[in-house]
Chains A and B, each alone.
Chain A
Amino acid sequence: QSVLTQSPSASGTPGQSVSISCSGSSSNIGSNTVSWFQHLPGTAPRLVVYKNNQRPSGVPDRFSGSKSGTSASLAISGLQSEDEADYYCAAWDDGLSGVVFGGGTKLTVL
């Protein structure tokens, strides 16, 4: 059972937009910033959003993040086949004194 809660799956067709949600609590998302990672099993995870809504260089502006209270979201617009991957949210947890990840959302591009 992950500390941060994500829906296990999401899907969309090429060109569509999709949103992935992440729910936490006052000790993690409520008081710290959220990062989002893209992961294809067997490869290195990739940071796509940090500090709630900032994109590292090289990440397309189709990826955007937001946070409200104890929840966060990752939105991907103009879906492309290469976006198919597992997506994880993460935040520092003050009570646990560590990083907590969501359980991951498997994004399928139909």
Chain B
Amino acid sequence: EVQLVESGGALVQPGGSLRLSCASSESTLSSRWMHWVRHAPGKGLVWVSRIDSGGSETNYADSVKGRFTISRDNAKNTLYLQMNSLRVEDTAVYYCAGARFGRNGMDVWGQGTTVTVSS
């Protein structure tokens, strides 16, 4: 069974930066679109970004566009999310997910990493 493990979450001040990582237990995810989805306290799931299997095509939610960058290293079976100019409203648990079934069919998820933006 494929496993995803996120890391990099931390407490950071507004305006700061973080880089999240998502390591996969096997290389099969290299053929999948990969996504970042976040869950803020008391709120619903919110899609953040996605990257295609080759790493050349990316999309972002308007709320993070220009501040976050998604990337992947298929040789290392790792997905990244570089987060700059962090805001209080970016506070959330961040999940990485792999989509096997179409653009929104995310069938494998990590356990999440917590990002807290606070002064």
User: Which of the four size classes fits the interface of chain A?
Assistant: 20 to 34
Give the distance in Å from the alpha carbon of A35 to the alpha carbon of B101 in the complex.
9
Which of B11-19, B42-50, B79-87 contacts its partner? B42-50
Selected contact of A35 from candidates B39, B62, B95, B106, CB within 8 Å: B106
Residues of A within 8 A of B104 (CB): 32-35, 50, 90-92, 99
Chain A contact residues: over half helix, strand or loop, or mixed? strand
Taken residue by residue from 78 to 110, chain A's Cβ proximity to chain B (1 for < 8 Å, 0 otherwise) reads as 000000001010111000111111111000000
Give the distance in Å from the alpha carbon of A76 to the alpha carbon of B62 in the complex.
33
Taken residue by residue from 54 to 89, chain B's Cβ proximity to chain A (1 for < 8 Å, 0 otherwise) reads as 000001111000000000000000000000000000
Taken residue by residue from 38 to 75, chain A's Cβ proximity to chain B (1 for < 8 Å, 0 otherwise) reads as 01011111110011001010000000000000000000
Selected contact of A104 from candidates B44, B59, B95, B111, CB within 8 Å: B44
* A39 adjacent to B45 (CB under 8 Å): yes
Q: Which of B37, B45, B47, B59 has the largest count of A CB atoms less than 10 A from its CB?
A: B45
CB within 8 Å for A92 and B107 given contacts A2-B44, A101-B44: no
- Min CB gap B65→A, angstroms: 10
Selected contact of A41 from candidates B39, B60, B105, CB within 8 Å: B39
CB within 8 Å for A33 and B102 given contacts A44-B110, A47-B107: yes
- Min CB gap B106→A, angstroms: 6
Interface residues in chain A, defined as those with a beta carbon under 8 Å from any beta carbon in chain B: 2, 32-35, 37, 39, 41-47, 50-51, 54, 56, 86, 88, 90-92, 96-104
